[in-house]
Amino acid sequence: MKAILAAVVLFVAVLVSSYVRVDAQLEVGYYNDKCYLAEYIVKDEVHKAFDRNPGLAAGLVRMHFHDCFVRGCDGSVLIDSTPSNTAEKDSTINNPSLRGFEVIDSAKARIEAVCKGVVSCADILAFAARDSVEVSGGYGYDVPAGRKDGRVSLASDTIANLPPPTDTLGQLISSFTSKGLTQDDLITLYGAHTIGRSHCTSFTSRLYNFSTTAAQDPTLDASYASVLKQQCPNPKFFNDTNLVVPMDPTTPTVFDVNYYSNVLNNKGLFTSDQTLLSSTVTGNLIRQNVANPSLWESKFAAAIIKMGQIQVLTGSAGEIRANCRVINKS
């Protein structure tokens, strides 16, 4: 067993090192000689948050994804709206579903107290996503760092860049390809839906008045649909936008392959979850993940590192925000 675990760790390390050698100019251990406590502080804040509310781990992983897919991994999702601008976090896609901003705030405040103006908010979010995976039971991995923070955050950018839960497989592949990610990356990263929750509003269209020929989505397991209807009443008669359900009802706070098992059993919560079975290639990747959880966890580590290098700002291209919610004054 020790030999197998050692081999898995080595496999992840090789993948990490291969992704570091890209044009993004990021580096593992970037803060070792600049602010050596940075990653420790982030990890500590994530662990404290997880102890208070295990669901925040999923929120931070999702926040990293939503940051990277809009203007690249530049921390723009963290910026607050102003009277003259509605920021990404307040778009209908992100609000009220994104959560965990206070974890980033706490980590940033502690880091600024010991290393003022050194560690970017974008890097803090990337570290927090890694620590969230690990505290939930997934593999830890080294995060290449050196990102700078962006100065622009527009709610309007989210619509064109973040795939909605109603996407088909073709639409998902197109979205991920536009970010430099492969079909395999898509299936791998979607496994993050194994933790966290969803608002009922994201999938009730599958439960009620689905089409002119079907009351509910026929690709959704009937027994699971019945359970969901008890948790999410028909919005036509009871419209509570705050209702939420776990993405994986079995182990909602554990980073495991249950998500893929759910999809294989027609219990994917979103249309975009269930559509992953609509091709032989993607279906086989899902079955592979169920059969080999360790391989999936290793692939996930590599894929999220790759995602974390989408259109990053480095050097003089961005800034180090003093407050992750506010762009620095010129």
Which residues have a catalytic role annotated?
66
Residue 9 in this model has a pLDDT that exceeds 80: no
Residue 20 or 74, more confident: 74
Determine the Cα–Cα distance for residues 181 and 175; give it in Å rounded to an integer: 9
Residue 263 or 7, more confident: 263
Query: Quick one: pLDDT at residue 21?
Result: 43
Residue 23 in this model has a pLDDT that exceeds 80: no
Residue 4 in this model has a pLDDT that exceeds 50: no
Residue 5 in this model has a pLDDT that exceeds 50: no
Q: Binning pLDDT at 50, 70 and 90, where does residue 292 land?
A: very high
Q: Binning pLDDT at 50, 70 and 90, where does residue 13 land?
A: low
Query: Quick one: pLDDT at residue 273?
Result: 98
Residue pair 145/320 in contact (Cβ under 8 Å)? The answer is no
Query: Quick one: pLDDT at residue 159?
Result: 96
Q: What is the pLDDT of residues 91-138, one digit of tens each?
A: 999 999 999 999 999 999 999 999 999 999 999 999 999 999 999 999
Q: Residues 199-205: what's their mean pLDDT? A: 96
Residue 79 in this model has a pLDDT that exceeds 80: yes
Q: Residues 13-18: what's their mean pLDDT? A: 50
Query: Quick one: pLDDT at residue 6?
Result: 46
Using DSSP, state whether 142 is helix, strand or coil. Answer: coil
Q: Residues 40-45: what's their mean pLDDT? A: 98
Residue 2 in this model has a pLDDT that exceeds 60: no
* Total H helices, total E strands in the chain: 13, 4
Determine the Cα–Cα distance for residues 175 and 88; give it in Å rounded to an integer: 18
258: exposed, middle or buried (Cβ count in 10 Å: 0-12, 13-18, 19+): buried
Q: Residues 273-278: what's their mean pLDDT? A: 97
Determine the Cα–Cα distance for residues 202 and 114; give it in Å rounded to an integer: 41
Query: Quick one: pLDDT at residue 10?
Result: 54
Query: Quick one: pLDDT at residue 22?
Result: 47
Residue 189 in this model has a pLDDT that exceeds 90: yes
Kindly give, in sequence order, each residue whose CB lies less than 8 Å from that of residue 72, ignoring residues fewer than 6 positions away. 150, 310, 311, 312, 313
Q: What is the mean pLDDT of the chain?
A: 93
The kind and range of the H/E element at 103 are helix 101-114
Query: Quick one: pLDDT at residue 236?
Result: 87
Using DSSP, state whether 9 is helix, strand or coil. Answer: helix
Q: Provide the percentage of residues in the chain whose pLDDT is more than 90.
A: 89
Tell me the residue type at 288. Q
Q: Residues 247-251: what's their mean pLDDT? A: 95
Query: Quick one: pLDDT at residue 294?
Result: 97
